[in-house]
């Protein structure tokens, strides 16, 4: 089922002296699954998320969304406020959207308990590990009960070992909460192991090089998916696209 249809999307940035075209006439669908967008640095991946989330309205083309679609956006870093404790950070989105009611507070408490953070609710971000902070950021995004999550390089600030662990944690949480995802990453392995579909962009101005449906015989966590024969097959195909 299509949640979002992107039709003939183009995006340019302007300075005093020149126009820089970032995205060039791309078309694809976002379904009720995990979609990855990869490509070279500066090719417009984050621009696509900004357009989908309606933060950027200056573009050409059409974005058609399912009626009443609610979108949650998780930024590149955890972006937790250091002067707020974990509970206060978790309900921040509800405060901003003026939807801090009893039912939504109960849902946040439920998420904190379910994902092992409730006992840390009175602590502050500097008292938590990088992985725990990412879980708090995800819970803050889930608190508004979105239908789809936009993740912009969500693991890039973590060291490699922590990155694999947190990737698995985030994957499991999103699957359990039954949400769709669009994740932007420059990491080919991350995209293949995490996603059901991977969209490969060219260098700027970005056009679509290829779209791959990722099928594993036994779908598992991202870390486990990396160990499969299918993973290597997709890696070789996508790496070949990027090299060309």
Q: What is the pLDDT of residues 158-191, one digit of tens each?
A: 888 888 988 999 999 999 999 999 999 989 999 9
State the average pLDDT over residues 186-212: 94
Which residue in the block uniquely carries the two structure tokens 């590990």?
A: 129
- Is residue 186 within 8 A of residue 201, CB to CB? The reply is no
Residue 239's pLDDT is 92
Q: In the chain, count of helices (H) and strands (E)?
A: 9, 9
State the average pLDDT over residues 33-54: 90
Residue 189's pLDDT is 95
Q: Could you tell me which of 203, 188, 198 has the C-alpha nearest to residue 236?
A: 188
Assess whether pLDDT exceeds 80 at residue 2: yes
**Stronger pLDDT, 62 or 155, i.e. the higher one:** 62
pTM here is 0.90
């Amino acid at each position: 089922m299509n949640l979002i249809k992107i039709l003939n999307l183009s995006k340019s940035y302007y300075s005093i002296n020149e126009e820089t075209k970032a995205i060039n006439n791309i078309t694809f669908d976002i379904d009720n699954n995990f979609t990855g967008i990869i490509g070279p640095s500066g090719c417009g991946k984050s621009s696509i998320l900004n357009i989908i989330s309606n933060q950027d309205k200056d573009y050409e083309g059409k974005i058609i969304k399912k009626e009443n679609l609610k979108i949650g956006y998780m930024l590149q870093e955890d972006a937790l406020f250091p002067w707020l404790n974990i509970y206060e950070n978790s309900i921040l989105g509800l405060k901003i959207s003026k939807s801090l009611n009893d039912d939504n507070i109960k849902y946040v408490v439920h998420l904190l308990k379910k994902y092992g953070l409730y006992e840390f609710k009175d602590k502050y971000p500097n008292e938590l590990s990088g992985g725990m902070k990412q879980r708090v950021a995800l819970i803050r995004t889930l608190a508004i009960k979105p239908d789809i999550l936009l993740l912009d390089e969500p693991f890039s600030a973590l060291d490699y070992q922590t990155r694999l662990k947190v990737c698995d944690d985030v994957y499991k949480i999103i699957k359990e909460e039954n949400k769709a995802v669009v994740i932007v990453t420059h990491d080919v392995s991350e995209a293949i192991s995490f996603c059901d579909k991977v969209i490969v962009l060219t260098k700027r101005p970005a056009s679509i090089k290829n779209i791959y449906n990722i099928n594993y015989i036994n779908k598992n966590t991202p870390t486990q998916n990396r160990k499969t024969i299918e993973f290597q097959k997709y890696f070789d195909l996508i790496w070949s696209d990027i090299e060309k």
